Amino acid sequence: MPTTNLQNSIGFNEQKFYIGMDVHKKSWAITIRSMGIQIAHFTQPPSPEALSGHLKKNYPGGLYYSAYEAGFCGTGIHEQLCALGINNIIIHAADIPTTDKQKKNKTDVHDSRCIAENLEKDNLQGIHVLTREQQELRSLFRLREGKVIDVTRANNRLKSYLFYYGIQLPAEVSKSEYLGNRALAWLSNLELAVEAGTISLKYYVEALQYQRQQLYQLTKQLRQQVQSCHAKTYECLLTVPGIGAVTAMGLLAEIGDFNRFTDPDEYCSFIGLTPWEDSSGDTIKTLGMQPRCNRHLRPLLIEASWTAVKKDRNLFAYYSKHAVKNSKKAIVKVARKLALIAKGVAQKQQPYDPDYLNKTKNTKSGKVLEVKTE
């Protein structure tokens, strides 16, 4: 790859410079290309200001385009680069075209060089960057998800402790494996053979109570934040069968603006409800749900679908039609339809209409629906 040093005496007005960045916590690997050749490569401290200063000093008047892989650093670097006049995009690492040689010989230098080359060839497409407010709302939702895991972990630890010592709850305290408030109150007053065991039991009980209280507070505050930002959409989503408060809050926190998806397949692919395929010639292989998706929404919608088929006759009929072959695949089909219904409700800002399928069929068959006029 030819390398040259351009002089400041050359005019760079409107000349395009493409910057490939491999960002890390302590250093950035930078490759700069222009007019089809690599003109610079260096390592710098992790600072957008330092990169902007280098570009404006050595290539004044140019048009700067940069890209880096989505990762731990989030979108803070992207926002700073755009504010400094650098047209930056964030790319998914799997979307960077790479050769077998590049995959086997991976370094920071090669990564930044590959990004710069593909950026110059216009082979890269940036991911959608949410607003800072939407990202913070999403973080609160994911924090609640983590707290659900903490509650489950604390509950299982306590149950394992009780099982180890053969402690069984009275029937009047708990009739199921769920450890409710009455069961925890009974366990708080229970004394084991020695004080050490009683202390351990006490801390297991208090840990579960603490995690549940945290989850309650997080859910309450998340609902308040969602209603303050998306009050109308939130109320409309709750009218969709199967979609409860948690699923509605998840959709609004993870997606925000449903209008950013112009293609239904793109929307379902983002959620992970579109099958992926491995075909060659006459051989067509469908491999099920694609692994690349939003892993926070897909489980919520599949779980909501089991409730939806019990409440909505149209969705139940749709499920029954496909469940003859495979019930698990059928519920995924229902989840896809439920996701599209949620999208339509959110975009139109109208409550769910159970007869929407019949109206759609009548419209497609050429029947004229009655329209009231003033």
pLDDT tens-digit readout, 52-62: 999 999 999 99
Interaxial angle between packed helices 313-323 and 327-348, expressed in degrees from 0 to 180 and rounded to the nearest 10 = 150
Q: What is the mean pLDDT of residues 22-47?
A: 95
Q: Residue 355 carries which DSSP code?
A: T
Q: Please, which pLDDT band fits residue 369 given cuts at 50, 70 and 90?
A: very low
Q: What is the mean pLDDT of residues 262-274?
A: 90
| pLDDT for position 231 | 94
| pLDDT for position 366 | 52
Return the HEC string of 169-199.
CCCCCCCCCCCCHHHHHHHHCCCCCCHHHHH
Instruction: Give the residue with greater pLDDT, 293 vs 229.
Output: 229
Average pLDDT, the chain: 89
| pLDDT for position 10 | 58
The yes-or-no verdict on residue 232 having pLDDT over 50 is yes
Q: What is the mean pLDDT of residues 215-238?
A: 96
The yes-or-no verdict on residue 368 having pLDDT over 60 is no
| pLDDT for position 335 | 95
Q: What is the mean pLDDT of residues 229-244?
A: 95
| pLDDT for position 106 | 86
Instruction: Give the residue with greater pLDDT, 281 vs 20.
Output: 20
Q: What is the mean pLDDT of residues 340-356?
A: 90
Report the CATH fold assignment for 16-120: Nucleotidyltransferase; domain 5 (3.30.420)
What are residue 277's DSSP bridge partners? 286
Segments making up each domain of the chain, as ranges: 16-120, 139-231, 245-354
| pLDDT for position 192 | 94
Q: Where is average pLDDT lowest: 15-24, 90-99, 175-184, 315-324?
A: 175-184
12: amino acid identity, one letter: F
3-state DSSP percent of the chain in helix, strand and coil, to 5:
55, 10, 35
State percent of the chain over pLDDT 70.
90
Q: What is the mean pLDDT of residues 359-373?
A: 49
Instruction: Write the DSSP assignment of 224-287 as a string of letters.
Output: HHHHHHHHHHHHHHTTSTT--HHHHHHHHHHTS-GGG--SHHHHHHHHT-SEEE--BTTB--EE
Q: What is the mean pLDDT of residues 305-315?
A: 94
The yes-or-no verdict on residue 357 having pLDDT over 70 is no
pTM over 0.75: yes
Instruction: Give the residue with greater pLDDT, 242 vs 354.
Output: 242
Instruction: Give the residue with greater pLDDT, 21 vs 72.
Output: 21
The yes-or-no verdict on residue 284 having pLDDT over 90 is no
The yes-or-no verdict on residue 327 having pLDDT over 80 is yes
| pLDDT for position 318 | 92
Q: Where is average pLDDT lowest: 279-288, 297-306, 331-340?
A: 279-288
Q: Residue 3 carries which DSSP code?
A: B
The yes-or-no verdict on residue 30 having pLDDT over 70 is yes
| pLDDT for position 362 | 57
Q: Please, which pLDDT band fits residue 347 given cuts at 50, 70 and 90?
A: very high
The yes-or-no verdict on residue 370 having pLDDT over 70 is no
Angstrom distance (rounded) from CA 126 to CA 107? 22
The yes-or-no verdict on residue 354 having pLDDT over 60 is yes
Structure tokens at 242: 């199967």
Q: Which residue shows structure tokens 């930002």?
A: 229
Instruction: Give the residue with greater pLDDT, 373 vs 308.
Output: 308
